[in-house]
Chains A and B, each alone.
Chain A
Amino acid sequence: MSSSTSLTEPTPGGHALELRDVTVRFGSTLAVDAVTTTIPAGAIVGLLGRNGAGKSTLLRTLAAHRRPSDGTVRVAGEDPYEHERLMADLCLVRHDGDFNLDVSVADSIAIAAALRPHWDGATLDRLMERFRLQSNRTKVGALSLGQRAALAVSIGIATRSPVTMFDEPHLGLDAPSRYAFYDELLATYIAMPRTIIVSTHLIDEVASLLEHVLIIDRGALLVHEPADELRTRGLELTGPSAAVDEITGGMAVLSSRTLGPTTSAVVFGEDHGDLQDRAAAAGVEVGPIPLQDLFVAMTSQESVR
């Protein structure tokens, strides 16, 4: 076996992405702040962050639409920026689709098909039918925003790109369309595993699809963990204030509310076995919290900007 992989062959498993100190500045604004992490090939990854956290800028950098101000991005071990073959393997779908509005739906699809080496026309046809779209001479600019969003995700899925990224795909899609999107994304992923990144702040809807979760806030990476591990890391402790304070001493307290003599604190950490016993002895209740609440607790601190 040769160790060199052809970028134009279907690549079950997709490409890995390595980020080292990736930083993006716009003037004096730090949009992405020294992000270092590795996204394994073939994983479905959720990129979670509040509005303005830097999700879109980070995705545009990974898609080689722009160069980081500092740091390096490696896709399958190579710098993707202005790397023609590698860029054909990187697909970033933004919710408005980045379409030329004067081009017809049929031609927009034909352009994507011509540019994308792993294009799957049968999948595109199925998605168009599911989203009640027609490939015809209608200009994309004449479509509703919802139709345009559905066309964008349909094309994104049909590219079967080794790295496929969706930036806030929920924008513009109504609930039935979103679930159609999640179903089709998973079905095509099972048929041909590839690296998929979905940015969102609607965690409940996508959480079960994710293998890894990245949380960014103010441009910085707060968390990169397997989704199932992250689910076990958020705990809420409720009880007499002094007892809660004592038990949570030394733990990472993300948020805390006090009402009269009772305090409820959300902590990020692990239950080292004795936590439940210590809490029970002190009259403190311990319960797990959902991923969405953990995300809110981690990213809700007042902005210092």
Chain B
Amino acid sequence: MSAGAAFDDRTAIYRQIADRLRDDIARSVLSDDAQVMSTNQYAAFHRINPATVAKAFQELVDDGLLYKRRGVGMFVTPGSGERLRDERRSRFVLDVLGPVLDEAERLAIPVDDILAVIRARSTTAKGRP
């Protein structure tokens, strides 16, 4: 498979690229003012049409997550990581927890059992060095 196979062929590739960049910013893989790859570097590396890559980058520029410095490249707008994490926190219950609880209900898993798992996990997490 091509390097482009890292992207699937079922949804628009520019959307997948934009989502990946957002993930990298939300996880601080790309931190404030970090320079992102140029569209051409990204295109050659992932074996993707440069126009497709440019469309994804432009979406993040329009969204205020990246800014351009003419002749230099594109950089992460300060505060973008926190902004994306805030957005994801506000969607967490609906997008992430909702489907889990729906499935638990279908399987008749008692709420207390689920809470026990969550508590045990958060204790372990706190106990980590």
**Does A290 lie within 8 Å of B2, measured CB to CB?**
no
Smallest Cβ-Cβ distance to A229: which chain B residue: B12
CB distance from B76 to the nearest CB of A (A): 24
**Does B47 lie within 8 Å of A228, measured CB to CB?**
no
B residues near A204, Cβ cutoff 8 Å: 1-2, 5, 9
Interface: A276 (CB within 8 A)? no
**Does B2 lie within 8 Å of A211, measured CB to CB?**
no
- Report A156-196 CB contacts with B as 1/0, cut-off 8 Å: 00000000000000000000000100110011011000000
CB distance from A290 to the nearest CB of B (A): 4
**Does B10 lie within 8 Å of A211, measured CB to CB?**
no
Contact partner of B11 among A44, A179, A186, A231, CB < 8 A?
A: A231
Q: Which positions 192-238 of chain A face chain B at CB distance < 8 Å?
A: 203-211, 227-229, 231-232, 234
Size category of the binding interface on chain A: 20 to 34
Q: Which positions 4-52 of chain B face chain A at CB distance < 8 Å?
A: 4-5, 7-15, 40, 43-44, 46-52
A residues near B2, Cβ cutoff 8 Å: 179, 182, 204-206, 208
**Does B44 lie within 8 Å of A211, measured CB to CB?**
no
CB distance from B17 to the nearest CB of A (A): 10
Contact partner of A187 among B5, B15, B44, B52, CB < 8 A?
A: B44
**Does B10 lie within 8 Å of A190, measured CB to CB?**
no
**Does B50 lie within 8 Å of A291, measured CB to CB?**
no
Smallest Cβ-Cβ distance to A290: which chain B residue: B9
B residues near A210, Cβ cutoff 8 Å: 49
In this complex, how many residues of chain B approach chain A with their Cβ under 8 Å: the count is 24
User: With A186-B44, A208-B13 in contact, do A227 and B52 touch (Cβ < 8 Å)?
Assistant: yes
Count of A-B residue pairs with CB < 8 Å: 72
B residues near A183, Cβ cutoff 8 Å: 44, 47
Bound complex: CA A225 to CA B2 (Å): 22
A residues near B50, Cβ cutoff 8 Å: 189-190
B residues near A232, Cβ cutoff 8 Å: 11-12
Contact partner of A182 among B7, B9, B11, B47, CB < 8 A?
A: B47
**Does B9 lie within 8 Å of A292, measured CB to CB?**
yes
A residues near B7, Cβ cutoff 8 Å: 208
Bound complex: CA A211 to CA B50 (Å): 9
25 contacts between A and B (CB under 8 A): A43-B51, A182-B2, A183-B44, A190-B40, A203-B9, A204-B5, A204-B9, A205-B2, A207-B9, A208-B2, A208-B4, A208-B47, A208-B48, A209-B49, A211-B49, A227-B49, A227-B52, A228-B14, A228-B15, A228-B55, A231-B11, A232-B12, A288-B11, A290-B8, A290-B9
- Residues of B participating in the A interface, judged by any CB pair closer than 8 Å: 1-2, 4-5, 7-15, 40, 43-44, 46-52, 55
Since A206-B2, A208-B48, A231-B9 are in contact, a sample of 14 more A-B pairs with Cβ atoms closer than 8 Å, ordered by chain A residue number, is A179-B2, A182-B47, A190-B43, A204-B2, A204-B9, A208-B46, A208-B47, A227-B13, A228-B14, A228-B15, A231-B10, A231-B13, A232-B12, A288-B11
